[in-house]
Amino acid sequence: MTYLFTSESVSEGHPDKIADQISDSILDAMLKQDPRSRVACETMVTTGLAVIAGEVTTKAYVEIPDVVRETIEKIGYDKEDYSFAAHSCGVQVALHSQSPDIAQGVNVGEGVDKEQGAGDQGMMFGYATKETKEYMPMALAFSHALVKRLAEIRKNHTDLIGYLRPDAKAQVTIEYNEDNTPKRVHTIVVSTQHDEFPGISDDEALAQIARDVKEHVISAVIPSELIDDETIFHINPTGKFVIGGPHGDAGLTGRKIIVDTYGGKGAHGGGAFSGKDPSKVDRSAAYASRHIAKNLVAAGVADEVLVQVAYAIGVSTPVSLNVTTYGTSNVDLTDAEISKVVEGIFDMRPSAIVERLGLTNPIFTPTAAYGHMGQAPYTDTVEINRTEIVEDGDKTISTVITEQKEVEFFTWEKLDYVDQIKSAFNL
């Protein structure tokens, strides 16, 4: 018997995603000056207001309101009609230093085993499946693609649809065969914020939106062979959607953890990502676990993999690492035996993860919309502001030197361990 599975995504203009992007933009701004910055930055947005709170230990000096406004403007909130605009919204900042009780277990040389310890206890998960080219669940991959396409049209192709506003959601239901392979798209839900439609009725406006979304959004990202005459479409099912963004709902950092990861497939340890520096294993170990899972599936060890890792605060070595293959293993080993082999390949101490994945670089803002997992890795040049201090007699002269640095983004999505894994498993 076939079965259904559903995942959702939200656009960069969704209130919670605005908050995530602000938090990560502040983190990146600090890492550009001080790669050892310790940051736990939370954001709340509502009508005409952004509130920034949390704990920070850094040598960087950042004009927080400027970073907040630049981020909001880039997302597309630049009109007073939205009741939340980059140039006019209030920005309140309440950041203070990190607890020294936590720092002593995280800083190198101060942990239980004198290495960089985990920033907190907890468990993190990484998941991968071969059902899409991104090694992501199909329902989530399609949901991300729909809201990303809406943003692309809003920003770059207003000749196609000229009335889109930043806030949007998408949801896709996939029908699976008994052997767990995708069969077809069962249902697509798209809700997009839009301008007023003067001179026509609400019903006429909704009909226009439905036609445009089907033609320019859904048809552009969902393979036609997966859609049939029985596929169900719900486009702006509640009707008019003019009031949205932070004016429609308050947004908070870390409130879209399933959108950020695997759309409900696999598992989630509960920790959010955005606004956290890589000493927080909620983030870094989740990335490392995805890196392991993706490379295991790509190497052919199994068709579906879930990796769990767990830590004690202040301790560098994980308390456990477990690999689950859901009965899809292609090697003559138990899941427990696969886990032992994986432990010998991947060093999961926090400092090793940070070094392996290049997580002290300012690479986090792009992760804060359309999923932390499943996006293609790439290299780009970023601006680094390094402070040089020179002693001149009884004077201390501080100079900020701006440099261009080439860095890798989404390093945890690289398939750079496939050959090593194949060798270890004799594949």
Q: Of 256, 283, 291, 294, which residue is the catalytic one? A: 256
> Strands 251-252 and 3-10: what pairing?
unpaired
5 labelled catalytic:
no
DSSP-derived 3-state class of residue 159: coil
Q: How far apart are CA 350 and CA 396, in angstroms?
A: 35
250 labelled catalytic:
yes
Q: Of 5, 14, 84, 288, which residue is the catalytic one? A: 14
Q: Do the annotations mark residue 79 as ligand-binding?
A: no
425 labelled catalytic:
no
42 labelled catalytic:
yes
Tokens encoding 226: 């997966």
Beta strands, E only, 31-78: 38-46, 49-57
Q: Do the annotations mark residue 395 as ligand-binding?
A: no
Q: Of 8, 12, 17, 50, which residue is the catalytic one? A: 17
Q: Do the annotations mark residue 42 as ligand-binding?
A: yes
Residue 217 DSSP symbol: I
Q: Do the annotations mark residue 240 as ligand-binding?
A: yes
> 131, 175 in Cβ contact below 8 A?
no
Q: How far apart are CA 345 and CA 420, in angstroms?
A: 8
Q: Do the annotations mark residue 405 as ligand-binding?
A: no
169 labelled catalytic:
yes
> 348, 330 in Cβ contact below 8 A?
no
Sign of CA dihedral 60, 61, 65, 70: negative
Q: Of 5, 84, 241, 410, which residue is the catalytic one? A: 241
241 labelled catalytic:
yes
Q: Do the annotations mark residue 280 as ligand-binding?
A: yes
Helix 15-33 and helix 64-75: axis angle, to 10°? Answer: 130
Q: How far apart are CA 233 and CA 213, in angstroms?
A: 10
Q: Of 38, 144, 280, 356, which residue is the catalytic one? A: 280
Q: Of 184, 216, 255, 386, which residue is the catalytic one? A: 255
Q: Do the annotations mark residue 144 as ligand-binding?
A: no
Q: How far apart are CA 273 and CA 315, in angstroms?
A: 20
**386-396 burial string, b = 16+ CB within 10 Å, else e?**
eeeeeeeeeee
186 labelled catalytic:
no
Q: How far apart are CA 322 and CA 391, in angstroms?
A: 52
276 labelled catalytic:
yes
> Strands 320-324 and 182-194: what pairing?
unpaired
282 labelled catalytic:
yes
Q: Do the annotations mark residue 80 as ligand-binding?
A: no
Q: Do the annotations mark residue 16 as ligand-binding?
A: yes
Residue 180, judged by CB atoms within 10 A of its CB (0-12, 13-18, 19+), counts as middle
Q: Of 8, 24, 42, 120, which residue is the catalytic one? A: 42
Q: Do the annotations mark residue 81 as ligand-binding?
A: no
Q: Do the annotations mark residue 214 as ligand-binding?
A: no
Q: Of 16, 34, 277, 304, which residue is the catalytic one? A: 16
Q: Do the annotations mark residue 355 as ligand-binding?
A: no
Q: Of 36, 55, 70, 347, which residue is the catalytic one? A: 55
Annotated binding-site residue numbers for L-methionine: 55, 98, 249, 280
Annotated binding-site residue numbers for ATP: 14, 167-169, 240-241, 249, 255-256, 272, 276
Annotated binding-site residue numbers: 14, 16, 42, 55, 98, 167-169, 240-241, 249, 255-256, 272, 276, 280
Annotated binding-site residue numbers for Mg(2+): 16
Q: What are the catalytic residues?
A: 14, 16-17, 42, 55, 169, 241, 249-250, 255-256, 276, 280, 282
Annotated binding-site residue numbers for K(+): 42
